[in-house]
Amino acid sequence: MSAIQPAENEPFELKASAITLPVLRLFDTDMDRIGERLSHKIDQAPDFFHNAPIVIDLSALKSGDATVDFALLVGLIRGMGMIPVGVQGGNELQNEAAEMLELAILGNGGERKTRPRPKPKPRVGANAGDGDNGSGGLLVTRPVRSGQRLYARGGDLVVTAAVSSGAELFADGNIHVYGALRGRALAGVNGNASARIFCRKLNAELVSIAGRYKVSDSISREHWGDTVQIYLVDNRLIVEPV
Q: Does one domain contain both 87 and 141?
A: no
Asked whether residue 11 is domain-assigned, the answer is: no
CATH number of the domain to which 72 belongs: 3.30.70.260
Q: What is the largest CA-CA distance in the chain?
A: 74
Q: Does one domain contain both 141 and 233?
A: yes
- The band of 137, judged by pLDDT with boundaries at 50, 70 and 90, is confident
Q: Does one domain contain both 138 and 221?
A: yes
Angle (CA) 195-199-103 rounded to 5° is: 40
Q: Does one domain contain both 184 and 85?
A: no
Q: Does one domain contain both 87 and 176?
A: no
Q: How far is CA 65 from the centre of its chain?
A: 20
Asked whether residue 227 is domain-assigned, the answer is: yes
- The band of 215, judged by pLDDT with boundaries at 50, 70 and 90, is confident
* pTM of structure: 0.69
Measured CA to CA, the distance from residue 60 to residue 63 in angstroms comes to: 8
Identify each DSSP E strand in 20-82 by its residue range.
Answer: 23-25, 53-57
- Per-residue pLDDT tens for 173-212? 999 999 999 999 999 988 889 999 999 999 999 999 988 8
Identify each DSSP E strand in the chain by its residue range.
Answer: 23-25, 53-57, 83-88, 104-106, 131-132, 138-140, 149-152, 157-159, 168-171, 175-181, 184-187, 197-202, 206-209, 212-215, 228-233, 236-241
Q: Does one domain contain both 102 and 150?
A: no
Check: CB of residue 201 under 8 Å from CB of residue 180.
yes
Which one-letter DSSP state was computed for residue 168? E
Among residues 48, 72, 106, which one ends one of the domains? 106
Measured CA to CA, the distance from residue 39 to residue 51 in angstroms comes to: 14
Asked whether residue 119 is domain-assigned, the answer is: no
Q: Does one domain contain both 150 and 92?
A: no
What is the pLDDT of the chain when averaged over all its residues?
84
Total domain count, the chain: 2
User: Which residues are CB-neighbours of 130 under 8 A, at least 6 positions away?
Assistant: 123, 138, 139, 140, 141, 142
Question: What value does the mean pLDDT take over residues 44-72?
Answer: 87
CATH number of the domain to which 146 belongs: 2.160.20.70
Query: HSE-up of 73 (CA within 13 Å, CB side)?
Result: 26
Q: Does one domain contain both 137 and 235?
A: yes
Measured CA to CA, the distance from residue 87 to residue 55 in angstroms comes to: 6
Asked whether residue 162 is domain-assigned, the answer is: yes
Q: Does one domain contain both 96 and 153?
A: no
The range of the structural domain enclosing residue 171 comes to: 131-241
Work out the percent of the chain whose per-residue pLDDT is above 70.
85
Check: CB of residue 31 under 8 Å from CB of residue 38.
no
- Per-residue pLDDT tens for 23-42? 999 999 998 899 889 988 88
**Residue 207 CA: distances (Å) to CA of 8, 43, 96, 182, 203:** 53, 26, 22, 10, 10
Q: Does one domain contain both 29 and 73?
A: yes
Asked whether residue 5 is domain-assigned, the answer is: no
Supply the Cα-derived Rg of the chain in whole angstroms. 20
pLDDT exceeds 90 at position 45:
no
- Per-residue pLDDT tens for 91-118? 998 998 888 777 999 986 555 555 554 4
Provide the 10 A C-beta neighbour count for residue 234: 5
Q: Does one domain contain both 236 and 145?
A: yes
Asked whether residue 47 is domain-assigned, the answer is: yes
Asked whether residue 188 is domain-assigned, the answer is: yes
pLDDT at 18: 73
Residue-level length of the chain: 242
Q: Does one domain contain both 163 and 213?
A: yes
Asked whether residue 230 is domain-assigned, the answer is: yes
Write out the H or E segment, with its range, that includes residue 161.
Answer: none
Measured CA to CA, the distance from residue 164 to residue 61 in angstroms comes to: 30
